[in-house]
């Protein structure tokens, strides 16, 4: 079978990451602009060379298309806003790669920023849902006590536990291995070692989830610049080539027979990305997976085919995902321990690892990096296979 014509046709040539975490007093658009400037400098590109811009905003409002004005970009050939929640970052790279491959644009900046944390407020307040009186059937969930995303993901994890016997300690194994990676990342918010005992002692938010099953909430911005493979070789940093791309979206539509919770669109998205990259899970040397919750990692590994359905719990035990493990996963500390900029968290770490720039946390083999994005309640999925190798 001939290689996919777009395999390694484009590359990520620039990465910009602002300060992340409890950084107050700056609107999201300000983080976005800074991230673009940092990515340009990282790539060795002049701002005037940029001819494509894709903007993804978080929950705090902004950035939007006025970012072009803020950056001083007088003319662009490709400019749009995109949002599919946590799958947006991988989707931006996909759309940018298509724009570059078609010749619609040459250098496309893909930027996400958010600033949901406010001084004096807890992280829970940012994603907590409405406080007022909700109207009609739409208000029912609030009346029962469903607010924000945590209960919905907790229900998904609990169903997996009821169906397959997955245990709390197995979810904890993901929190522990992710924290072990965070120790090697100076940017990570939580770097102190975590044991399974420490995980068990962390308070429940919504059973089966402890606090430590849930990601951080962070302010900050991130940008990657996608360009053609040949052009990327002439730029400042080693290219990280886009080998595979996939997307899939599934909804339960309120129907009893459907189940996105234990069988996500990661199945189709992962298969599409691996097929385009011409490889299988056996070729994947590390994973950067969307870890809004520990469970998201477990179900994504199953749906990508690293293990059988229902066996994700056993798969993540024994340090397989941690430093020194057979499948290094979320090597920067992920959204659980480092910072939460939606899909930019796994994507940015994939770029760092793909360049071999991970320092103390560099995983031994970066030849095929699988990156996931997940949005909604396991509804929207996007996958990338990235590599420093051209073939």
Distance, CA of 302 to CA of 290 (rounded, Å): 14
The verdict on whether 153 is a catalytic residue reads no
Buried (b) or exposed (e) across 144-176, using 16+ Cβ within 10 A? Answer: eeebbbbbbbbebbbebbeebebebebbbbbbb
Q: Which two tokens stand for residue 17?
A: 């990451």
Distance, CA of 280 to CA of 370 (rounded, Å): 11
Using the rule CB under 8 A, give the single segment among 31-39, 75-83, 135-143, 379-387 that binds another protein: 135-143
User: Per CB under 8 A, does 141 bind another protein?
Assistant: yes
CA dist list (Å): 149 to 6, 72, 166, 251, 376: 36, 37, 21, 16, 8
Instruction: State the minimum distance, in angstroms, from the CB of residue 176 to another protein.
Output: 22
Beta carbons within 8 Å of 100's beta carbon, 6+ residues apart: 9, 10, 52, 106, 107, 108, 226, 227, 228
User: Per CB under 8 A, does 159 bind another protein?
Assistant: yes
Nearest to 290 by CA among 323, 242, 338, 326: 338
User: Per CB under 8 A, does 128 bind another protein?
Assistant: yes
Distance, CA of 296 to CA of 345 (rounded, Å): 14
Using the rule CB under 8 A, give the single segment among 102-110, 133-141, 322-330, 346-354 that binds another protein: 133-141
Candidate residues 2, 72, 103, 254; the one interacting with another protein per rule CB under 8 A? 254
The verdict on whether 340 is a catalytic residue reads yes
Per the residue annotation, which of 153, 290, 293, 295 is the catalytic one? Answer: 290
DSSP run (H or E) holding 223:
strand 220-228
Candidate residues 2, 25, 192, 253; the one interacting with another protein per rule CB under 8 A? 253
Candidate residues 25, 145, 186, 364; the one interacting with another protein per rule CB under 8 A? 145
Site for another protein in 206-235 (CB under 8 A): 206-209
Site for another protein in 105-124 (CB under 8 A): 124
User: Per CB under 8 A, does 49 bind another protein?
Assistant: no
User: Per CB under 8 A, does 125 bind another protein?
Assistant: no
User: Per CB under 8 A, does 198 bind another protein?
Assistant: no
Nearest to 220 by CA among 64, 113, 120: 113
- What's the alpha-carbon Rg for the chain, to the nearest Å? 20
Candidate residues 197, 255, 282, 364; the one interacting with another protein per rule CB under 8 A? 255
Using the rule CB under 8 A, give the single segment among 19-27, 71-79, 128-136, 383-391 that binds another protein: 128-136
Query: Among residues 98 and 260, whose Cβ is nearest to another protein?
Result: 260
Binding site for another protein (CB under 8 A): 124, 128-129, 131, 133-148, 151, 154-156, 158-159, 162-163, 203-209, 252-258, 261
Residues recognised as catalytic: 290, 340
């Amino acid at each position: 079978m001939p290689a996919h014509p777009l395999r390694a046709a484009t590359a990520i040539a620039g990465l910009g990451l602002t300060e992340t975490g409890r950084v107050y007093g700056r609107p999201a658009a300000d983080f976005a602009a800074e991230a673009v400037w940092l990515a340009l400098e990282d790539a060795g590109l002049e701002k005037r060379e940029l001819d494509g811009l894709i903007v993804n905003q978080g929950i705090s409002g902004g950035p939007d298309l006025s970012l072009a004005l803020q950056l001083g970009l007088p003319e662009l050939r490709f400019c749009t806003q995109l949002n599919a929640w946590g799958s947006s970052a991988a989707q931006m790279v996909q759309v940018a790669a298509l724009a570059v491959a078609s010749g619609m644009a040459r250098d496309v900046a893909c930027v996400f920023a958010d600033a949901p944390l406010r001084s004096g407020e807890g992280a829970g307040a940012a994603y907590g849902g409405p406080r007022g009186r909700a109207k009609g059937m739409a208000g029912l969930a609030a009346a029962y006590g469903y607010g924000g995303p945590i209960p919905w993901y907790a229900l998904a994890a609990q169903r997996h536990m009821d169906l397959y016997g997955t245990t709390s300690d197995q979810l904890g194994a993901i929190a522990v291995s992710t924290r072990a990676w965070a120790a090697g990342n100076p940017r990570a918010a939580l770097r102190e070692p975590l044991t399974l005992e420490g995980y068990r002692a962390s308070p429940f938010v919504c059973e089966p989830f402890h606090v430590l099953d849930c990601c951080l909430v962070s302010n900050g911005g991130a940008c990657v610049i996608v360009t053609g493979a040949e052009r990327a070789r002439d730029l400042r940093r080693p290219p990280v080539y886009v080998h595979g791309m996939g997307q899939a979206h599934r909804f339960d539509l309120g129907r009893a027979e459907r189940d996105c919770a234990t069988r996500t669109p990661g199945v189709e998205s992962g298969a599409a990305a691996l097929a385009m990259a011409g490889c299988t899970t056996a070729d994947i040397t590390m994973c950067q997976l969307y870890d809004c919750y520990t469970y998201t990692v477990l179900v994504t590994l199953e749906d990508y085919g690293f293990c059988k359905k229902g066996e994700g719990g056993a798969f993540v035990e024994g340090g397989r995902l941690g430093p020194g493990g057979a499948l290094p996963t979320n090597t920067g500390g992920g959204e659980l321990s480092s910072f939460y900029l939606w899909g930019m968290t796994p994507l940015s770490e994939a770029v760092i690892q793909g360049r071999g720039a991970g320092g103390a946390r560099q995983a031994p083999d970066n030849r095929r990096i699988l990156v996931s994005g997940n949005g909604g309640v396991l509804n929207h999925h996007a996958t990338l296979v990235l590599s420093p190798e051209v073939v």
